[in-house]
Chain A
């Protein structure tokens, strides 16, 4: 089996001007760390959810009674 020899050599231009044109590129929005919630906020949200749930149950119950 013929051995494939590939030799890569770095190319460093010794002559001429090496320059990069600064072209404005589109930018991505940054990654977003999520803020942690305070205990009070968590409790508020929990209470809100429970209250909503309770109201829904009550409404369901009254609907069933009407039927």
Chain B
């Protein structure tokens, strides 16, 4: 005798095993047999409907705490104190490469740290695609465009739930359906206004006593840019029930309101209730990192590792910090740890290769880079790996190989300013002054936030006797990195020259 599983049970089982598409398909079939009606319907179709909304939501679910996309206008008009932190308030960090905004590149990238802040409007529009910004410019101009990807695709059978025909008031009375429906509207349809309507009616139905609905209201307000309203909801939710997530959302609001210190205090309050909570500690570390206070950020990342020794973000950040403070062998241990944990991608192998080389473990260097190249998924990554191999070649004094590597980096990413600069240095060694100068000018125009091309251009111009250009270039280098000693000396020398004339 053949035993068949009850379809709803099977769908539920698929859902738990995260085979979401199969789950949704079975639910669709059940719903075809027992149509779902808002007014009167069988419990089975209600269950199938709810399960399908959950499956569809899970497919596109993104942790809301992590998501923070800013539009161009917000980035440009941002005068918050985190944005105002001048990058050079910490001495000596300039050994570290910087993002477009002149902020040091950290060991980890999240949606909100993707691009840093561009300095000028022009830069904001033209700099979208470098190694650390995978975000195309079109999505930077509006908020949360990417998150609605599921809703932008047209389904051949029409949408699963037609929001405009939904009677939200009725759903808000049914606590067993309203929550899944809310998440579906918020995450899958990306329709914040309707989600807000539903949440408002539901919280009213719950007599303003349900913390969950208050958090959801706060999330909606946050997305709509009503930060003070969001703050009120989150605070009120915390009064009902202490939940880690609420602390995280509230801290996000304060960061957006330009109150990093309040956010820090809030995290510490949260830690009183939830001692050693990893996400709260990470939040503190991130704020310190954004304020360019790398040493205390590292302290907190270490605390994170004491609680959770497989925390990728903490390991990566501490590792990169060690690398750029001249301790590549310690950085190597951190990255090796990541490898042991099963992280397997282009970035990690690239970092391992660099650490191995600078920690004098030459046997592993090239094989790591080979793997990095094999694992790279985009041209930008490929370009960065070739750029780093170029450094290894310079290190072993194989200048021909170095030249080829930097050329390859440019072949993959024609806007790689660092590669242009390094090529210029090599060209000058070959005695090709004009070519070198052209490369330096390209580098300087591509990345005016870097001081190297300006400084090199200044030296080159001084050598060929063009003191005026040398002086202007040196001034630009000084703007980018005021404490650079060689620039200072060069400027002094030039001033003496000019005074003599």
Give A residues with C-beta under 8 Å from B: 24-38, 40-41, 43-45, 47-48, 50-51, 54-55, 58
From B96, B150, B313, B351, A38 is in contact (CB under 8 Å) with B313
Given contacts A29-B450, A44-B62, contact A35 B320 (CB under 8 A): yes
Residues from chain A with Cβ under 8 Å of B384 in the complex:
32, 34
From B106, B149, B381, B425, A51 is in contact (CB under 8 Å) with B149
Q: Using an 8 Å CB-CB cutoff, how does the interface string of B430-468 with A read, 1 for contact, 0 for none?
A: 000000000000000000001010011001100000000
The interface stretch among B43-51, B234-242, B342-350 is: B342-350
From B146, B381, B450, B486, A34 is in contact (CB under 8 Å) with B381
Given contacts A26-B456, A29-B422, contact A40 B66 (CB under 8 A): yes
CA distance A4 to B320 in the complex (A): 52
Can you name 10 extra interface pairs (CB under 8 A) apart from A28-B421, A41-B114, A45-B134? A24-B486, A30-B96, A34-B346, A34-B350, A36-B338, A37-B108, A37-B109, A38-B66, A48-B149, A58-B154
The interface stretch among B220-228, B244-252, B387-395 is: B387-395
Residues from chain A with Cβ under 8 Å of B388 in the complex:
31-32
CA distance A53 to B324 in the complex (A): 39
Residues from chain B with Cβ under 8 Å of A47 in the complex:
60, 146, 149-150
Given contacts A28-B394, A28-B421, contact A36 B387 (CB under 8 A): no
CA distance A24 to B147 in the complex (A): 50
Given contacts A48-B149, A54-B153, contact A32 B460 (CB under 8 A): no
B424 to A, closest residue via Cβ: A26
> Top 5 A-B pairs ranked by shortest CB distance?
A29-B418, A51-B149, A34-B347, A40-B66, A35-B109
Q: What distance in Å separates the Cβ of A60 from its nearest Cβ neighbour in chain B?
A: 14
Question: In the complex, which range does the number of interface residues on chain B fall in?
Answer: 35 or more
Residues from chain A with Cβ under 8 Å of B351 in the complex:
33-34
A55 to B, closest residue via Cβ: B153
B484 to A, closest residue via Cβ: A27
CA distance A51 to B323 in the complex (A): 37
Asked if A28 and B345 make an inter-chain contact with CB atoms under 8 angstroms apart, the answer reads no
Q: Using an 8 Å CB-CB cutoff, how does the interface string of B306-327 with A read, 1 for contact, 0 for none?
A: 0000001100100010011000
Cβ of B84 within 8 Å of any chain A Cβ, yes or no, is: no
Cβ of B110 within 8 Å of any chain A Cβ, yes or no, is: yes
B387 to A, closest residue via Cβ: A32
Residues from chain B with Cβ under 8 Å of A26 in the complex:
424-425, 428, 455-456, 459-460
Asked if A24 and B153 make an inter-chain contact with CB atoms under 8 angstroms apart, the answer reads no
Given contacts A32-B97, A33-B323, A34-B350, contact A40 B381 (CB under 8 A): no
CA distance A36 to B428 in the complex (A): 35
Residues from chain A with Cβ under 8 Å of B387 in the complex:
31-32
From A36, A43, A50, B345 is in contact (CB under 8 Å) with A36
Q: What distance in Å separates the Cβ of B48 from its nearest Cβ neighbour in chain A?
A: 25
CA distance A54 to B105 in the complex (A): 34
CA distance A67 to B385 in the complex (A): 45
A41 to B, closest residue via Cβ: B111
From A25, A31, A36, A51, B150 is in contact (CB under 8 Å) with A51
Cβ of B206 within 8 Å of any chain A Cβ, yes or no, is: no
Residues from chain B with Cβ under 8 Å of A48 in the complex:
146, 149
Residues from chain B with Cβ under 8 Å of A33 in the complex:
105, 107, 320, 323-324, 350-351, 354
Of the A-B pairs whose beta carbons lie under 8 Å apart in the complex, a sample of 13, sorted by A's number, is: A26-B424, A32-B131, A34-B381, A36-B345, A37-B108, A40-B62, A41-B109, A41-B111, A44-B146, A47-B149, A51-B152, A51-B153, A55-B152
Cβ of B411 within 8 Å of any chain A Cβ, yes or no, is: no
Residues from chain B with Cβ under 8 Å of A37 in the complex:
108-109, 345, 347
Residues from chain B with Cβ under 8 Å of A35 in the complex:
105-109, 132, 316, 320, 347
Q: Using an 8 Å CB-CB cutoff, how does the interface string of B337-378 with A read, 1 for contact, 0 for none?
A: 010000101111011001000100000000000000000000
Q: What distance in Å separates the Cβ of A12 from its nearest Cβ neighbour in chain B?
A: 25
Q: What distance in Å separates the Cβ of B300 from its nearest Cβ neighbour in chain A?
A: 17
Q: What distance in Å separates the Cβ of A11 from its nearest Cβ neighbour in chain B?
A: 23
From B146, B345, B354, A31 is in contact (CB under 8 Å) with B354
Cβ of B489 within 8 Å of any chain A Cβ, yes or no, is: yes
Residues from chain A with Cβ under 8 Å of B312 in the complex:
36
